[in-house]
Structure 1
Amino acid sequence: MPRASSPVAIIIPARYSSTRFRGKPLAMITGRTMISRVWSLARAVPGVNEICVATDDERIAEHVRSFGGRVVLTPTECTNGSERVLRAAETIAPTPAVVVNLQGDAVLTPPWVIATLIEEMRRDRTVEIATAAVRMDKRRYQSLRAAKENGESGGTTVTFDRRGNALYFSKSIIPLVCLEGHGNDTDPLPVFRHIGLYAYGYESLRRYVNFDPGPLERSEKLEQLRALEHGIPVRVVEVDYGGRTHWAVDSPDDLKRVEAIIGQEGDLVGV
């Protein structure tokens, strides 16, 4: 059966006991919890057959049920979000052909970005895993480089071949760019910032979760390198945020930044 007519599921892994930010999915952002905001983003994506939150915490589950969301309680033994997503996908009937892992803290991910990733999976059924990236300009490149020089670890970049298949992901900035000749701040560079959004073919997800971490994954602490180390191609899809700001929520301090962005740019979807 072609993927174009096959079921698509968006699964939102949400963990309460994060070492960096305990209770993060239930944190409030301008009057709404983080997980309810992410749920609304998922609901705004067209052509999706199933949406659910995968969690091992009853506090999160109870809250999701309170706003009408579907919850799959996953084993506490799940070691990461991808494993939690697989355990939830196994409960869905019919089995989804495409499984989207939308992180429970991805409150600034535009629905059209998620839709673009799904469309790539439908367009090319040979794609096993797809992920998103945004092309950087000189100004953003310099900002990220300055942050790295100050010891910040956030911000992953990716390089890929002419077919769009990933060559490598790194917390270092790759490739290194000589800025001579790039005179304008808005000049595009061959540097792509990775967005932690993934779409999997169901069987590819099963294979991926069952692989052991390799030395590159352990060194960079980037789970997606597991696929490359085991020979699973990862299709990188360039996406356009349409002028919206991307920001990750890794700590309580990030909440203020996210609230400021929403205050300036407005909500991505209606309440």
Structure 2
Amino acid sequence: MTSFAIVIPARFASTRYPGKPLAMLRGASGQARSLIERSWRAACEVKGAAGVFVATDDDGIADAVRAFGGQVVMTPSTCRNGTERCAATLSQLPEVDVVVNLQGDAPLTPAWIIPDLVAALAAAPHAAMATAALRTSATTYAHLARDAAEGRVGGTTVVTAQDGRALYFSKRLLPYLPDALEAKHERMRLHLGLYAYRPDALRWYAAQQPSSLEDLEGLEQLRFLEGAAPIQVVTHDPVGWDCIELNNPQDVPAIEAILAARGLD
């Protein structure tokens, strides 16, 4: 068995949504829980993990995590993104084969995708890391398209080679889909905020400077691609609900509606 630990990077100073990890989301019964607690609860549903750790440099987030029973790893404020924050936890984690990064703004991620991702990385010795994507449903595509039309940065899309190797990730909707194309959503894949890294790949990443495309797109995984470190993408069919990330305050009602529809408190 491939051993793995789950790390949830969380920072207070989000450009688009300051204080986002502590934003409150109401569940099916009306009970409000913070975004970071909901992400932690989603991670705790995963079977076989050596532990679930929230990585942060913010005392307020750390206090909130300890209050609901989570484990915290304090990381330097100089970490520029979640992958660097995961790298900074390595000395404080159990010794594992794989470190999984579950982004703290993705509480709707299905738990069963994580073991699949770990297994995919173990089966792809050429890859530095693996990540997950979903074929978009009609409603997810509509959400992404609405964000784009209204000038908001929403989810991230990914395009791959036939063998699943990532070609590019973007906050734009990729690939280009002609207006006349029917069932556009079937041609697009939503990247999930989920990564599985080999520890050595994390150390390599932390030793590199941010890449030019990473800076332009604001997508940390592009540092791997520009450094010729292959990324394996595991694509799944839609899971029955829209895996919307909390990127903007406008996303809160949509996420709360999905929590209510799924009966999640």
Give the structure-1-normalised TM-score. 0.87
Tell me the alpha carbon deviations over residues 65-86 of structure 1, each in whole angstroms, 9 at most, x when there is no partner: 2222111111122222111111
Q: Structure 1: how far apart are the matches of 2:240 and 2:166? A: 25
Counterparts of 1:33 and 1:218, CA distance in 2: 29
The CA distance in 2 between the partners of 1:229 and 1:155, in whole Å, is: 21
**Alpha-carbon distance, 1:143 to partner:** 5.5
| 1:154 counterpart SS class | coil
What secondary structure is seen at the aligned counterpart in 2 of 1:52?
Answer: strand
Task: Identify unmatched segments of 5+ residues in structure 2.
Answer: 27-31
Deviations 1:38-95 (A, max 9, x none): 111111111111211111112221222222211111112222211111111221232x
Gapped runs of 5+ residues in structure 1?
A: none
Task: Give the CA RMSD over aligned residues.
Answer: 2.2
The structure with the largest alpha-carbon Rg is: 1
In structure 1, the residue matched to 2:178 is: 178
Correspondent of 1:16 among 12, 19, 27? 12
Question: Matches of 2:35 and 2:139 in 1, distance apart?
Answer: 29
Q: 1:251 to 1:140 in 2, by over 3 A?
A: closer
**Structure 2 CA distance for aligned equivalents of residues 139 and 35 of structure 1:** 25
CA distance in 2 between partners of 1:179 and 1:220 (Å): 25
Could you say if the C-alpha distance between residues 144 and 21 of structure 1 is closer, same or farther in structure 2, counting changes exceeding 3 Å?
Answer: closer
For the residues of structure 2 that align with 1:52 and 1:138, how far apart are their CA atoms? 34
Shift of 1:19: 3.2
Q: Is the 8 A contact 1:113 1:240 kept in 2?
A: no
Paired position in structure 1 for 2:29: none
Please tell me whether residue 221 in structure 1 is matched to residue 242 in structure 2: no
State the Cα distance separating 1:257 from its structure 2 match.
2.2
Tell whether 2:88 aligns with 1:91.
no
CA distance 1:125–1:266, shift in 2 (3 Å): farther
The offset of 1:108, in angstroms, is: 1.0
Q: Give the SS at the match of 1:242.
A: coil
Pairing 1:81–2:82 present:
yes
SS of match in other structure, 1:111? coil
State the partner residue of 2:23: 27
Once the 2 structures are TM-superposed, how far is the Cα of residue 13 of structure 1 from its aligned partner? 0.7
Contact kept in structure 2, 1:24 and 1:34, CA below 8 Å: yes
Please tell me whether the aligned partners of residues 24 and 34 of structure 2 are also in contact (alpha carbons under 8 angstroms): yes
- The offset of 1:234, in angstroms, is 0.6
* Pair 1:190–1:21, CA change in 2 (3 A): closer
Equivalent of 1:212 in 209, 213, 225:
209
AA paired with 1:24? K
Secondary structure of the 1:63 match is: helix
Q: Which amino acid aligns with 1:46?
A: K
Question: What code does the residue aligned with 1:103 have?
Answer: Q
Q: Is the 8 A contact 2:139 2:242 kept in 1?
A: no
Q: 2:186 aligns with which of 185, 189, 210?
A: 189
Give, in whole Å, the separation in 2 of the partners of 1:143 and 1:92. 37
- TM-score computed with the length of structure 2 as normaliser: 0.89
Partner of 1:162: 162
- The one-letter code of the counterpart of 2:67 is S
Q: Secondary structure at the match of 2:136?
A: strand
- For 2:196 and 2:6, locate their aligned partners in 1 and report how far apart those are by CA, in whole Å: 9
Q: Cα–Cα, structure 1 residues 169 and 79, in superposed 2: closer, same or farther, change >3 Å? A: same
* Of 200, 204, 208, the match for 1:203: 200
In the alignment, the residues of structure 2 paired with residue 139 and residue 249 of structure 1 have an alpha-carbon distance, to the nearest angstrom, of 16
Cα distance between partner residues in 2 of 1:36 and 1:148: 29
Aligned residues: 260
